[in-house]
Every structure is written in structure tokens, then in C-alpha cells.
Amino acid sequence: MKLPEAEQLCAQLVGELKARIGPQTAMIGLYTGGAWLAERLHAMLRLPEPLGLMDIAFYRDDYHARGLHHDPKRTKIPFDINGRDLLLVDDVLYTGRTVRAAMNELFDYGRPASISLVVLADRGGRQLPICAQHCGARVEVPSGMRLRLKRDAGDRLTLALEPERAA
């Protein structure tokens, strides 16, 4: 199965987002894939505010079933989010649960004027009423597989399919 080129989707998203940038725009990427994508978009768009990075581990809705299994990264939002138009960036949109957790965490930092969701790929399968305002591509993913963004040593981004981790 042929997956879209991540680098091309990035360029396409930059074109789309340019028109949206205003004085209050700021960007936040979700670890890990979303952070890579956000680093790229943030640099290409030359946003004046530094990039925010979030790990939603403390807001996940499956903690009681799965516990804190990985080592969470530290969320760093180096600007005041009150009144901002936030671009929330993730690599792949699937159930919508990560985005729900991210929005809960964001509101513990303040009250943004708006939040728009930017994703490289939407694989469908939503379990919550969440949609992306900016989406690079829709991608069909076979069941039992997981769509992931990868970054190589030369910072090149690619989309890849891999088997879902056993729960």
C-alpha cells in the first residue's frame, strides 16, 4: 500500500496555514510525532512565538486500564496561552482521544481564544466528536495496523505502517 509523502503533506499544510496566521497565533505540538511535525511547520511558517510541546500522559483516559507505562516528557509551553489562537499539531488523527486529553491539559494553562487542530494524516475511526481543521491527507489503515510518523537522522519525515503494539 502506498502512503502519501510526509514531506509533501508538510509543504501543503504550510501553504494552507499561511493564510491563517494572525498576531495571536501560536503553535503546540504533541509528543512524539506531532512535535516533529510542529517543529517543521513552526520553522517554515516563521512564527514569532516559540513552539510549545506537550505530553498528554497525565490526561489520558486509559490510565486506569494501562497505567503510566512510558516515561512522560515534560510539557513546555513557553508563552501565555490566554487569548491565543492555537494551532494544535499532531501527526495522525485516529480516535480523537489524544486531542481530547490535549485540550484538557491546555485549559490548565489558561483560556485560549481558539484551538485549531492540524494533522498530517486522518485515518478515520473517531470515537469522539473531534475533527481536524487542517489535514494533509486521509489515509486508509488496515485493521491491526498503526500509522506513524518517523523522522530519520537527516530530519526527513515519512509515514509508516506498523503492527499495533500488543495492549
Residues in touch with other proteins (CB under 8 A): 55, 57-59, 63-64, 66-69, 71-76, 104-105, 108-110
* Chain-centre distance for alpha carbon 48: 20
Nearer CB in complex with other proteins: 2/64 = 64
Q: How far is the CB of 76 from other proteins (least distance, A)?
A: 7
Nearer CB in complex with other proteins: 18/73 = 73
Under 8 Å between Cβ of 160 and 48: no
Amino acid, res. 102: A
Q: How far is the CB of 73 from other proteins (least distance, A)?
A: 7
Cell 485516529 -> residue: 94
Nearer CB in complex with other proteins: 6/28 = 28
Strands of the sheet with 52-54, listed across from one edge = 52-54, 25-30, 85-93, 114-122, 134-138
Nearer CB in complex with other proteins: 28/41 = 28
* Chain-centre distance for alpha carbon 72: 16
